[in-house]
Each structure stands twice: as structure tokens, then as C-alpha cells.
Amino acid sequence: MEQITGSPLAIYQAHLERGELAYQWSPEADRAVFYPRVICPFTGSGKLEWRVSAGLGTVYATTVTHPREGAPYNVALIDCDEGFRLMSRVEGVAPEAVRIGMRVRFRIHRPDAGEPPYPVFVPAETA
């Protein structure tokens, strides 16, 4: 595992470009750290390692957003198996069908117009 040598956001984005969901690990706290940072929020240590998630997780919370224009979509908190939580969305099912406790699998969403990729999830059974 590599030590932080550059911007945590740049390293995280580079992993996403390669199709990987990366997170940091704090050896001193013995736990995952997410979102990417320079200092461990649990110990104050600058010793953080990068790891790559297997991409499996569980929906912790979900809601459906109804924008003024466009179709409704869900916003979900995903607990990844490695011990970190992130906000994302679950695709491939109706927004109302996303349920707390649903097993999900990571995939990359690549927006148009040169925007950076970001993580989304799909139901694990259909992935």
C-alpha cells in the first residue's frame, strides 16, 4: 500500500479513472478513512495508506429526490464492506425500489462533457 505523496483528491480521482473505488486506511486507528484526507480524523496521524475496495456494500439509508425537471432518482448512503460509508445512488432499479439492507456492487459512472467519473452502485444480484 502506498503512502500519501500527492493530493488525496487527485489520487482518489486517478483510482476512479482506472475503474477502482479507493479509500484510505489508518494503521494507527486500525480502520478505514473516507472521504480522502491528509490526516486521520481518529488519531491525527498523517500515516494513511491507500487501498482498493472490492466494491460490495449495503444500503444504510435511502431517499428519493424529485427534481423540478427530470426524473426522480435516489440518494443513498452505502456502507462498504471495508468499513467506510459514502453517499451515492443505486442505479438499475426504480428509485422507490432501493431498500435499506439491499446488497449493492460498485460501478463507475462516466458523465459526458469531460466531467470526472464518480462511483454509483447497482443491486448485487443483477451486477
Residue 2 grid coordinates: 502506498
Cα torsion 32, 37, 43, 49: sign: positive
CATH number at residue 90: 2.40.50
Q: 64-97 pLDDT, tens per residue?
A: 999 999 999 999 999 999 999 999 999 999 999 9
User: Does residue 21 form part of some domain?
Assistant: yes
Instruction: Please tell me whether residues 43 and 17 are part of one structural domain.
Output: yes
Residue 26 grid coordinates: 489508518
Instruction: Please tell me whether residues 115 and 88 are part of one structural domain.
Output: yes
Q: How many domains does the chain have?
A: 2
Q: Are 116 and 16 in contact (CB under 8 A)?
A: yes
Model pLDDT, residue 4: 46
pLDDT confidence band for 126 (50 / 70 / 90): low
Strand 85-88 relative to strand 103-109: parallel, antiparallel, unpaired? Answer: unpaired
Cα torsion 127, 67, 78, 36: sign: positive
User: Does residue 25 form part of some domain?
Assistant: yes
Expressed as residue numbers, the domain containing 87 is 56-123
Q: 24-34 pLDDT, tens per residue?
A: 999 999 999 99
Cα torsion 119, 13, 115, 112: sign: negative
Instruction: Please tell me whether residues 20 and 34 are part of one structural domain.
Output: yes
DSSP three-state, residue 32: strand
User: Does residue 3 form part of some domain?
Assistant: no
pTM, full prediction: 0.85
